[in-house]
């Protein structure tokens, strides 16, 4: 039976590739895609999510708009990485598929309420505002969650938006704290993993070489957002962060990490949004997350290319 997931996302080119991977994978049933404000404001992430579903040839996918700002602080965005639309790169037509009327958070609550315990996986590719709001307003749904798999945080790589914090956690640390304290199984794809999943030239050419619309778009998105990371890190390509979350559902064997305690810094101005990960197990704080540290990058890109080829 396919694994039921809800994708919570702020597309973003790497979010877009993650959504494509999910929609291309028979092991996964996407119950809905919920947009959140993050890389760009909500209006754009909600539009981009629909652009991507249409590109995948799946206009029946339900797309919802969730929260338009973090729980307690003003929104921080990342146009410097993703461009002003969030999906800069190739020209994309405006979506024609409808946006669902229901608020994204109420979709999450209603969907989980209708499912048995331990049955739905939440895949979080952006700030955790929607999921935290759903848990706060309807604590009864928390037990319905099978697993939360999220892209966020860092230990060895520390930060990308501040010296101490990764973007998704930094944008809404209070939301992240609620999620990390939820008591449900959490799997984290931090920068420590995603900075190893680099879009090197041969990998991007493999996307382009598919000779399909999807392959071309993914290659062109990559061409666009790479420029920023290559310059910043001097790396051979850009990290393809968010698809790691979906790849983990299909091929968990590609990833390795540790079951450890992870707390979120919400106080200090200097380190706000830091994921304080007890990688070396130097405290007695109970483990609450599987914090990944490594990925078989070639295996990951082969899987991605093979699945994108089916769209
Ligand atoms: C995360 O931030 C966003 O810019 C990306 O989409 C990814 O989810 C990486 O820090
Ligand atoms: Ca994202």
User: Whose atoms come closest to the Cα of 19: which ligand?
Assistant: 2
Output the CA 168–ligand 1 centroid distance in Å: 6
Parse the chain into domains and list their residue ranges: 3-308
Output the CA 27–ligand 1 centroid distance in Å: 25
Site of tokens 């994921």: 275
Site of tokens 């945080």: 153
The two three-digit tokens of residue 276, written as one number: 């304080």
CATH architecture of the domain formed by 3-308? Alpha-Beta Complex (3.90)
Q: Which residues belong to the active site?
A: 241
The two three-digit tokens of residue 266, written as one number: 């919400």
CA angle 60, 62, 67 (to 5 degrees): 155
User: Whose atoms come closest to the Cα of 238: which ligand?
Assistant: 1
Output the CA 170–ligand 1 centroid distance in Å: 11
Tell me the backbone φ, ψ of residue 217, rounded to 5 degrees.
-60, -45
pLDDT score, position 124: 99
Q: Count of CB atoms within 10 A of residue 93's CB?
A: 8
User: Do 151 and 245 meet the contact criterion of CB atoms below 8 Å apart?
Assistant: yes
Tell me which residues have their CB closer than 6 angstroms to ligand 1. 12, 14-15, 39, 78, 81, 125-126, 151, 160, 166-168, 241-242
CA angle 166, 276, 274 (to 5 degrees): 30
> How many CA atoms are closer than 13 Å to the CA of 156, on its beta-carbon side?
13
Show the DSSP H helices in 91-241 as ranges. Answer: 104-113, 129-137, 167-171, 173-180, 191-194, 201-208, 213-233
pLDDT score, position 248: 98
User: Which residues share a beta bridge with 64?
Assistant: 34
SS3 289: strand
Taking the CA of residue 39 as reference, the ligand 1 atom at the shortest distance is 4
Taking the CA of residue 125 as reference, the ligand 1 atom at the shortest distance is 8
The structure's pTM equals: 0.98
Digit-by-digit pLDDT tens for the chain (311 residues) are 999 999 999 999 999 999 999 999 999 999 999 999 999 999 999 999 999 999 999 999 999 999 999 999 999 999 999 999 999 999 999 999 999 999 999 999 999 999 999 999 999 999 999 999 999 999 999 999 999 999 999 999 999 999 999 999 999 999 999 999 999 999 999 999 999 999 999 999 999 999 999 999 999 999 998 888 888 888 888 999 999 999 999 999 999 999 999 999 999 999 999 999 999 999 999 999 999 999 999 999 999 999 999 99
Q: Determine the Cα–Cα distance for residues 117 and 238; give it in Å rounded to an integer.
A: 38
């Amino acid at each position: 039976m396919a694994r039921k997931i809800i994708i919570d996302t702020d597309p973003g080119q790497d979010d877009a590739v993650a959504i494509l991977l999910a929609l291309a994978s028979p092991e996964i049933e996407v119950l809905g895609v919920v947009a959140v404000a993050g890389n760009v404001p909500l209006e754009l992430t909600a539009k981009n999510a629909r652009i991507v579903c249409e590109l995948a040839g799946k206009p029946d996918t339900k797309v919802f708009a969730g929260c338009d700002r973090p729980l307690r602080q003003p929104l921080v965005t990342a146009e410097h990485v993703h461009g002003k639309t969030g999906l800069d790169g190739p020209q994309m037509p405006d979506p024609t598929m409808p946006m669902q009327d229901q608020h994204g958070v109420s979709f999450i609550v209603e969907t989980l309420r209708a499912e048995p315990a331990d049955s739905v996986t939440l895949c979080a590719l952006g700030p955790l505002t929607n999921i935290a709001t759903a848990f706060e307003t309807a604590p009864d749904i928390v037990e319905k969650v099978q697993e939360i798999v999220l892209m966020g945080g860092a230990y060895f790589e520390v930060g990308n938006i501040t010296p101490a914090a990764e973007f998704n956690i930094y944008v809404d640390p209070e939301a992240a704290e609620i999620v990390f304290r939820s008591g449900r199984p959490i799997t984290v794809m931090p920068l420590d993993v995603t900075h190893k999943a680099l879009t090197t030239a041969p990998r991007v050419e493999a996307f382009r070489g598919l000779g399909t619309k999807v392959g071309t778009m993914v290659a062109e998105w990559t061409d666009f957002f790479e420029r920023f990371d290559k310059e910043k890190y001097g790396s051979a390509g850009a990290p393809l962060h968010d698809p790691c979350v979906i790849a983990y559902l299909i091929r968990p064997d590609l990833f390795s990490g540790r079951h450890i305690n992870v707390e979120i810094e919400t106080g200090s101005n200097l380190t706000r949004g830091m994921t304080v990960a007890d990688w070396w197990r130097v405290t007695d704080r109970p483990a609450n997350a599987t914090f990944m540290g490594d990925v078989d990058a070639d295996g990951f890109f082969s899987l991605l290319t093979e699945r994108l080829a089916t769209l």
